[in-house]
């Protein structure tokens, strides 16, 4: 009976460690993907913002200076 218990315990520990290792590997891959996506998306957002600001920002103000008639 003791041998069966120890065998089942070892199998249970092995399955548990396999699941924990798989979970850590998947979490690290997902975190790496999210970090890559966040880095690329922030660059794209700044480019879009720069294009938008250039489109809607006037290059210079047009000043109309009236002529002076008092000589």
| Per-residue model confidence as pLDDT tens digits over 4-59 | 999 999 999 999 999 999 999 999 999 998 888 766 555 555 555 566 666 666 56
pLDDT confidence of residue 35: 85
Rounded CA-CA distance 19/24 in Å is: 9
pLDDT confidence of residue 25: 95
Residues shown for the chain: 71
Rounded CA-CA distance 4/1 in Å is: 5
pTM above 0.85, yes or no: no
């Amino acid at each position: 009976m003791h041998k069966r218990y120890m065998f089942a315990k070892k199998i249970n520990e092995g399955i548990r460690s396999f699941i924990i290792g798989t979970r850590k590997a998947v979490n690290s891959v997902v975190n790496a993907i999210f970090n890559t996506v966040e880095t690329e998306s922030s660059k794209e957002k700044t480019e879009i913002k720069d294009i938008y600001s250039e489109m809607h920002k006037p290059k210079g103000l047009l000043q109309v200076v009236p002529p002076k008639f008092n000589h």
